[in-house]
Amino acid sequence: MKLHYSGNHSKLEAIVNRANEIIESPFYISELRKYLIENNRGCYFGIFKKLLENDKQIKVKLHFNPFTRIKINNKSNSIMVSPTTLNGTHRDVIVLLSEYIYRIIISNPQISRCLNFSQEEKNEFLKEMGGISKHYF
């Protein structure tokens, strides 16, 4: 699974490229495995690894909406990034992108049913996946 940005905003392009490097790294994969094992969901590591190694692309789009404070969200298997998000550090934006990749993955009904996360567990999982990418730097 890769993020794909085809626009002309150089900062977002650099961030997307870096996020792809991190998500494909052995460090990230091993940290994902460790997290799932620690939380008694190690049997699902194969599913996540297979999805991350898949060639499917998630589109990243720059989307400006002056009537909302939402900086990033996902919409129909795309990640919509507000230009105001890019005012932060690369690290912070990569963390958000990592979280949203997993939001898309676990929005799949089969995976969601399989994981059987409560809302609290789901939120913790998403934050942890973003946190792994933060520790990569």
Going residue by residue through the chain, which has 137 residues, state the pLDDT in tens, using 9 for 90 and above. Answer: 899 999 999 999 999 999 999 999 999 999 999 998 998 888 889 888 888 888 889 999 998 877 777 778 888 789 999 998 888 889 999 999 999 999 988 888 888 888 888 899 889 999 898 888 887 76
Count of positions (residues) in the chain: 137
pLDDT at residue 80, as a whole number: 93
Question: Any idea what DSSP says for residue 79?
Answer: E
CA 116 to chain centre: 19
The number of C-alpha atoms within 13 Å of 91 and in the hemisphere containing its C-beta is 6
Contact 33, 87 (CB under 8 A): no
